[in-house]
Amino acid sequence: MHLLLPLLLSCDDGAPTDTSTTPVIGDLPAFYGDRPKNLLVISVDTYRRDLLARFGGEAGVTPFMDELAANGMSLDQHTTCSNWTKGGMACALNGMYSFQWGLIPRLAEQEAGPPRSTLASMLATHGFDTMLITSNGWLLDAGLDGGYAYIEQPDVNRATTISEAGIAALEQRIGASDKPWFLHLHFIEPHAAYSPPSEYLADLEGLEDVPWNLADREQHYDLLPDWPEMTAEEQELLKAHLWIRYKGDVRWVDDELREVWADLEVRGLLEDTLVVLWNDHGEQFWEHDKQTHVWGLYKEENDGFAIFWADNIVPQAWTEPTNHIDIAPTILSALGLGSPYDWSGLPVGMADPLRPIFGESYSREGPKLSVSVGDMKLIYKWTGEKELYDMAADPLELTNIYDPKDSRVVSMWQELTPVVDRWQVLVGGSAGDPVNPGP
């Protein structure tokens, strides 16, 4: 359904109506005056939604992101469809779940998958110059780079380098063309190992040292199997170190985004431009017995955010459920363009708030799937484990209330069963047959 925004009506005194401040009716996001012409996408890796003050995070950690959300259109009940980059970015750029376009993203697999329409390819057909600057190689895999006319992966993967390369490419290309443009910047921070500049780690001075170099990716990941053998005191100390490092990375990225923004403003590149910012997935800190990501389909790994901004956007918060599959259709709608017929994602405001929303991951522990309807989430693991969470009563998803006789479970399995069947075909037996799917 569309959300109809009120017209700003003038008094009927015979004077001409000034439409420069009149929102476009029936579309979300809405704009005062004309739609933007260009598109800037900034996707941020491994970013927990609950670090933003808007979603309950500590004040002062994400001031720029919170300003952007307040002055744009924020999707406040948003989820990513997977728990790692290739899966999360696939549905954001493809406008549909991976099982719908025919490839299950897996770690260490290099597959392009079937041909399909992507956000970049759709914009290219409408005459956009399309550019991707990424710090994460997964965006060059599984066909996620389809439709970009220019692609660059700098040797240094810091956000500073990515933004500088993107702005340089953009200015060079728009100087030679009057086409509308689409620039996609992907920042890998705050991905493990969390290693922001030292000024963001001052809080570590108050902690006892640990015997590991947590700025080293291999040492960070090598700690995962050691966690169960640690004492409670060792676990708490390690967790405190990692949280300070992670929050420091998040604060640093926020400051970097503010600097990028200022640079774009000075160059006039934010004029007539729609900016969309989202995370590809979150990060777990042992809420469900693991750390980092590609483990589970719980909120710490799967809560998402998406923020739309333009200098003439109508600020608002959208509070009905949305998913990454809705990002590309919403972008095309905002630019006045239509979506491909086979995309299952919908522009914001068009979806039934009680539609089933899926999560999918070929995780470090094998295939896992979820379906959410309203406040209820059902999780199924290929090994046969089943979980049900009431996200309103149990927002941290800690109490499994699964009951095969529960009518909600039966109803949600009617939605999830065809997805399990499709997954079984697509994984080709590499994970074995799913154990006891169904209530």
For the stretch 56-88, pLDDT in tens is 999 999 999 999 999 999 999 999 999 999 999
Amino acid 421 reads: D
Query: Which residues make Cβ contacts (< 8 Å) with residue 161, sequence separation at least 6?
Result: 135, 154
Alpha helices in 30-140 (DSSP H): 63-71, 85-94, 98-101, 119-125
Average pLDDT over residues 357-381: 96
**Around Cβ 210, how many Cβ atoms within 10 Å?**
15
- Rounded to the nearest 10 degrees, what angle do helices 327-334 and 85-94 cross at? 40
Q: How do residues 10-26 score in pLDDT, each as one tens digit?
A: 333 444 444 455 655 45
- Based on the fold, state whether residues 188 and 209 are members of the same structural domain: yes
For residues 47 and 88, what is the distance between their CA atoms, to the nearest angstrom? 12
For residues 100 and 342, what is the distance between their CA atoms, to the nearest angstrom? 9
pLDDT (0 to 100) of residue 16: 40
- Domain span at residue 423? 365-430
Mean predicted lDDT score pLDDT of the chain: 90
Q: Flag whether pLDDT at 400 surpasses 50.
A: yes
89 within some domain: yes
Q: How many domains does the chain have?
A: 2
The CATH number of whichever domain residue 393 belongs to comes to 3.30.1120.10
Residues 436/382, Cβ–Cβ less than 8 Å:
no
For residues 166 and 133, what is the distance between their CA atoms, to the nearest angstrom? 6
pLDDT (0 to 100) of residue 7: 32
- Based on the fold, state whether residues 372 and 343 are members of the same structural domain: no
73-79 and 303-309: which strand pairing? Answer: antiparallel
- Based on the fold, state whether residues 52 and 161 are members of the same structural domain: yes
Q: How do residues 127-142 score in pLDDT, each as one tens digit?
A: 999 999 998 888 787 7
HSE at residue 256, side-chain half, CA atoms within 13 A, is 24
pLDDT (0 to 100) of residue 24: 55
Mean pLDDT lowest among 104-113, 265-274, 305-314: 104-113
341 within some domain: yes
**Around Cβ 333, how many Cβ atoms within 10 Å?**
22
Residue 166, H or E segment:
helix 159-174
The CATH number of whichever domain residue 74 belongs to comes to 3.40.720.10
Q: Which two tokens stand for residue 142?
A: 């599984």
Residue where a domain terminates, one of 302, 328, 352: 352
Confidence of residue 111 (pLDDT cuts 50, 70, 90): confident
Q: Flag whether pLDDT at 376 surpasses 50.
A: yes
Q: How do residues 142-201 score in pLDDT, each as one tens digit?
A: 778 889 999 999 888 888 899 899 999 999 998 778 899 999 999 998 998 999 999 999
For residues 348 and 75, what is the distance between their CA atoms, to the nearest angstrom? 9
Q: Flag whether pLDDT at 202 surpasses 50.
A: yes
- Based on the fold, state whether residues 257 and 131 are members of the same structural domain: yes
Q: How do residues 220-245 score in pLDDT, each as one tens digit?
A: 988 888 899 999 999 999 999 999 99
Q: What is the largest CA-CA distance in the chain?
A: 79
- Based on the fold, state whether residues 328 and 394 are members of the same structural domain: no
